[in-house]
Amino acid sequence: MGNLWIGPPGRLIEIDQAAKSFERAADLGVSEFKALSGRITVTRTAAPVRRIKLSWDMLLPQHARALDRLARRVDGPGPHVLIDPAAGNVLNPAQATGTGPTGAAGLDQWFKVSANGSVVETAYGAFAFTAADTTSVVGWRCVPWKGNFPAAPGLRVSFRAPTAVAALGTCSVGIDFKRADGSFISGVNASGPFVAGTAPAGTTHLTPTARPGTAGTYAFAGACLTYGGDTAADNVPGDDLPPMSVTGYSDTPGRPLPYRSVGIDLVEVSGAAG
C-alpha cells in the first residue's frame, strides 16, 4: 500500500504519515418510508458518493500547513484529487468492467493511441478495442477528470491489461508520464500484460496503454491501474478517482509544537466553485 496524496491536479502533496483514523464509506443516499401497514419502502440516490474522513496525531508541520491551505481554499476552491492508499484500482467502476453509458459517453472512456484501431460498443453498454493490426494501441482516460489521470513525481504506479488482452502472448502495455498540457515526458513499457514504474520529475498526469499485438476485437473488462505499488491485478473492482471537496476540518496544536493534530472530511463532488 502506498501513501496518501492530495491536492489540486498538478500540485499534489504526499503525506507519508499514517492516519490515526481513516473512514472511506460510500453515502448510499438511502431513505426508508414505513407505511401504516408496517411495510417499508426504500428509496436511494442513483449514484452513491464517497465520503472520506481522515485524522492524524502529531502531524508534521509541512503536511498540516498543506491541509490547512486546502481547507481554507487558499489555492482555489478545488475540487481536489485524493489518491486513496486503500484503493486497489483507480479506474472508474464501470470502466474496470468494460462497461458504461451507451453511445459516445461510454466510448469516451478510451481512445486509440495509434493511427489505426477503434473503440467499439459490442453490445448495449459493453465496450471493446478493435485492433486493426499488430501496431494498434489503445489508451485509458480518467473518467471523472475527463482526460489524463492525475499524478505527481515520485508516485509509483502499475497497470494490468484487460483480461482478454492479457491472455494474448503478443500483448504489451505501457504508462506514459505527461505534463499538465498533455505533452509527453517519458514512459515505461513492458512485454506482457503488466507494467510498473515511478513518475519522473515534471509529471502531473499519466496515461496507461495496451497493445494487443494481434488483430481482433478485445473486451476492456478486467483492466487495473493501481497507485502506490506494483499490485495491479486481474479483475480488481474499480474504486475510481473522484474529484473531492473539503467539508470539515479541525486543527489542534500538538505538544510539543510545531506538530499538530489535524482532521479533514471530504466528499465526492461534481464541482466545488463558490
Q: pLDDT for 207-244, tens place per residue?
A: 999 999 999 999 999 999 999 989 999 989 999 999 99
pTM, full prediction: 0.90
Neighbours of 228 (CB within 10 A): 21
CA distance 37 to 181: 61
Give pLDDT tens digits for 129-179: 999 999 999 999 999 999 999 999 999 999 999 999 999 999 999 999 999
Sheet with 4-7: list strands edge to edge.
13-15, 4-7, 81-83
Q: What is the pLDDT of residues 168-206, one digit of tens each?
A: 999 999 999 999 999 999 999 999 999 999 999 999 999
Q: Which residues pair with 172 in a beta bridge?
A: 191, 211
What is the grid cell recorded at 179? Answer: 505534463
- Taking the C-alpha atoms of residue 35 and residue 61, their distance in angstroms, rounded to an integer, is 54
Chain centroid offset of residue 171 CA: 24
